[in-house]
Amino acid sequence: MAEKILETRHIVKQFPKVLANDDINITLYKGEILCLLGENGAGKSTLMNVLYGLYKQTAGEIFLGGKPVEFSSPRDAIDNGLGMVHQHFMLVETLTVTENIILGSEPGKGPQIDYRTARKQVMELSSRHGLKIDPDEKIMNLSVGLQQRVEILKALYRKARILILDEPTAVLTPQEVEELFTVIKGLRDSGVSIIIITHKLDEVKAISSRVYILRRGRIEGERNTADVSKADLANLMVGRSVVLTVEHTDHQVQSEPVFQIEDLVVRDDRHVAALNGLSLDVRPGEVVGIAGVDGNGQSELAEAIMGLRGVERGVMRHHGEDIAGLSTRERIDRRISYVPADRHRFGLVLPFSVAENIAIGYHDRPPNSRAAGWALDYRAMEARAGELIDDFDIRTSGPRASAGTLSGGNQQKVILAREFTRNPDFLLVSQPTRGLDVGAIEYIHSQILAMRDRDVGVLLISLELEEVFTLANRILVLYEGEIVKELVTKDTDEREVGLYMTGGKERTA
Ligand SMILES: Nc1ncnc2c1ncn2[C@@H]1O[C@H](COP(=O)(O)OP(=O)(O)O)[C@@H](O)[C@H]1O
Ligand SMILES: [Mg+2]
């Protein structure tokens, strides 16, 4: 029997309004890779933050090497051999890799930091664990994948024997995920015990030997990864059976594009060219997917299409007519619908009711208003909202509930209800399922495909490659503001797309 290195007994964490962890018992064995699988809000990060001394548990005990421990801070946890890489990195942008790694545990005495010694140790660690990095580069010049390496090195520098990674792959390309998994397996072989938090079933299968499934703060099951199917894991995670893959049905794509972009140049907020002569077209009845690593021009593209950002050069055509001079409002009136990546900034007004949010943009015309926009017809607005609440399966107490009281998935359904029922012929959807759980994702995907089947042209911008593959007929890879490759979904795979996402070159540190 393997040695128990870490154990929780009856951990409870009560937040003022949420019971985030409810009687959690888990065990970590020495030298294993353990996954903690659960949907958004299941309580995974909370449990890890309790282990790491960031939160104090409401009840329950933690045992390290068989002995009860109480960590009053991450410092305590680190001193006891725990390391954690958070979902959001905690590095100092303006400092170098080496400075970040040694921050808080500098070698040498007193304030005099021996940078040369530290740098040597960092390079030694980095080559030992295959975590290639330039020790003198500033954090702000590193890709997210490389920043993650710095976080891992930081934990190893502090001699972590237990490493916790919270959703480590969310920000990585497929190639980077593969590299990370190789590193993690190497760490396991050198005796480090690892907990990986994820909501992705593929990852559980690819990396772990054992998995706990967490739902609504409780452990729903424990499985040996080799003995459990993805479908079973999904069912445990969601609490009902879910359809994992949308059936790739064929739909007749029309030949005349509904939307075209030619040679678009757009600058970002710092006046740097974010789009560099981008061209694309979308035809009725197809989903065109934009794949790419975050920050390659995705948000600027969406904003330019909707008239929320100025265009320096280029043409945008809707049904062959130039729309560059039109306001956002005029574009929407032309039957262009938009599901924005940031639900709270552009999509919803949280203090407003569900009915009001569904009417936004339409509040000044029938059926929502009488007398040419002067009197809001609340009865009609609420009746319509009631129908859409049913149609789109929005879980809420009713049309009058404020949008802010809904879960993320249901907020997104409110936006879909509004945008999809405007009778659009061109639909721009940006990261439609970010942060949502499997059940909501399944529903939203089916709705997007239903729009396609009604001959709407759909442009999908997504950082989730899996989503692009599920929905798109064609994939355009966006890299540094340009479409560097066009691929037909059924003739390619995530590896190939991932390669173009990093500029078509193998990544070098
Ligand atoms: N600091 C906090 N204060 C209050 N509620 C919190 C806090 N952190 C998390 N929660 C709530 O606890 C629940 C579990 O959250 P979390 O552990 O972050 O889930 P996961 O990591 O599985 O997505 C959620 O309902 C979340 O809103
Ligand atoms: Mg989390």
Looking at residue 369, what is its pLDDT? 56
Looking at residue 366, what is its pLDDT? 55
Does the pLDDT of residue 251 top 80, yes or no? Answer: no
CA of 213 to the centre of ligand 2 (A): 14
Ion ligand 2: residues, Cβ under 5 Å:
45
Q: Which atom of ligand 1 is nearest to the CA of 45?
A: 21
Q: Are 153 and 229 within one domain?
A: yes
Q: Are 392 and 431 within one domain?
A: no
Does the pLDDT of residue 59 top 90, yes or no? Answer: yes
Closest Cα to atom 12 of ligand 1: 20
**344 assigned to some structural domain:** no
Closest Cα to atom 1 of ligand 1: 15
What are the pocket residues of ligand 1 if the criterion is a CB atom closer than 6 Å to any ligand atom?
15, 18, 20, 38, 40-46
Q: Tell which residue, 30, 8, 26, has the closest CA to residue 161.
A: 30
CA of 368 to the centre of ligand 2 (A): 39
Determine the residue of 18, 49, 219, 438 to mutate for testing ligand 1's pocket, defined as the one with the most ligand atoms within 8 A of the Cβ atom: 18
- Percent of the chain with pLDDT strictly greater than 70: 92
CA distance 496 to 370: 54
Determine the residue of 12, 15, 87 to mutate for testing ligand 1's pocket, defined as the one with the most ligand atoms within 8 A of the Cβ atom: 15
Does the pLDDT of residue 87 top 60, yes or no? Answer: yes
CA of 46 to the centre of ligand 1 (A): 6
The closest ligand to the CA of 435 turns out to be 1
Rg (CA), the chain: 25
Does the pLDDT of residue 411 top 70, yes or no? Answer: yes
CA of 15 to the centre of ligand 2 (A): 15
Looking at residue 107, what is its pLDDT? 59
Determine the residue of 11, 13, 46 to mutate for testing ligand 1's pocket, defined as the one with the most ligand atoms within 8 A of the Cβ atom: 46
Q: What is the mean pLDDT of the chain?
A: 89
CA of 195 to the centre of ligand 1 (A): 18
The closest ligand to the CA of 47 turns out to be 1
Closest Cα to atom 16 of ligand 1: 43
Residue 131, phi then psi, degrees to nearest 5: -105, 75
CA of 274 to the centre of ligand 1 (A): 35
Closest Cα to atom 2 of ligand 1: 15
Looking at residue 509, what is its pLDDT? 37
Going by pLDDT thresholds of 50, 70 and 90, the confidence category of residue 504 is low
Looking at residue 345, what is its pLDDT? 77
Closest Cα to atom 6 of ligand 1: 15
Average pLDDT for 87-103:
90
Closest Cα to atom 27 of ligand 1: 41
**331 assigned to some structural domain:** yes
Q: Are 276 and 331 within one domain?
A: yes
Q: Are 98 and 164 within one domain?
A: yes
Q: Tell which residue, 193, 148, 156, 173, has the closest CA to residue 30.
A: 193
The closest ligand to the CA of 37 turns out to be 1
**328 assigned to some structural domain:** yes
What single letter denotes the amino acid at residue 412?
Q
Q: Which residue has the higher pLDDT, 159 or 409?
A: 159
Q: Are 257 and 315 within one domain?
A: yes
Q: What is the CATH number of the domain that holds 453?
A: 3.40.50.300
Final residue of a domain: which of 422, 452, 481?
422
| Cβ partners under 8 Å of residue 436, min gap 6 | 40, 408, 409, 412, 444
CA of 40 to the centre of ligand 1 (A): 9
Looking at residue 95, what is its pLDDT? 93
Looking at residue 437, what is its pLDDT? 76
Looking at residue 508, what is its pLDDT? 39
Q: Which atom of ligand 1 is nearest to the CA of 55?
A: 1
CA of 20 to the centre of ligand 1 (A): 6
**348 assigned to some structural domain:** no
Task: Give tens-digit pLDDT for 341-354.
Answer: 888 877 899 999 99
Tell which phi-psi region holds residue 486, choosing left (phi > 0), alpha (psi between -120 and 50) or beta.
beta
CA distance 392 to 389: 5
Tokens of 272: 């740097």
**342 assigned to some structural domain:** no
Task: Give tens-digit pLDDT for 167-180.
Answer: 998 778 888 899 99
Task: Give tens-digit pLDDT for 60-85.
Answer: 999 999 999 999 999 999 999 999 99
**191 assigned to some structural domain:** yes
Q: Are 435 and 393 within one domain?
A: no
Final residue of a domain: which of 181, 211, 238?
238
Average pLDDT for 421-426:
92
Q: Which atom of ligand 1 is nearest to the CA of 217?
A: 14
The closest ligand to the CA of 170 turns out to be 2
Q: Which residue has the higher pLDDT, 40 or 315?
A: 315
CA of 218 to the centre of ligand 1 (A): 13
Looking at residue 419, what is its pLDDT? 92
The closest ligand to the CA of 17 turns out to be 1
Cα of 184 vs its chain's centroid, Å: 21
CA of 5 to the centre of ligand 1 (A): 26
Q: Are 310 and 454 within one domain?
A: yes
CA of 8 to the centre of ligand 2 (A): 18
Does the pLDDT of residue 109 top 70, yes or no? Answer: no
Q: Are 114 and 216 within one domain?
A: yes
Q: Are 154 and 71 within one domain?
A: yes
**124 assigned to some structural domain:** yes
Neighbours of 128 (CB within 10 A): 11
Looking at residue 372, what is its pLDDT? 52
Number of separate domains in the chain? 3
Q: Which residue has the higher pLDDT, 217 or 109?
A: 217
pTM value is 0.73
Q: Which atom of ligand 1 is nearest to the CA of 87?
A: 21
Q: Are 215 and 275 within one domain?
A: no
Residue 403: which domain range? 355-422
Q: Which atom of ligand 1 is nearest to the CA of 38?
A: 22
Final residue of a domain: which of 389, 422, 455?
422
Task: Give tens-digit pLDDT for 6-41.
Answer: 999 999 999 998 899 999 999 999 999 999 999 888
Q: Tell which residue, 213, 215, 248, 246, has the closest CA to residue 232.
A: 213
Instruction: Give the three-state DSSP class for 125.
Output: helix
Q: Are 367 and 509 within one domain?
A: no
**347 assigned to some structural domain:** no
DSSP result, 211-225: EEEEETTEEEEEEEG
Q: Are 209 and 83 within one domain?
A: yes
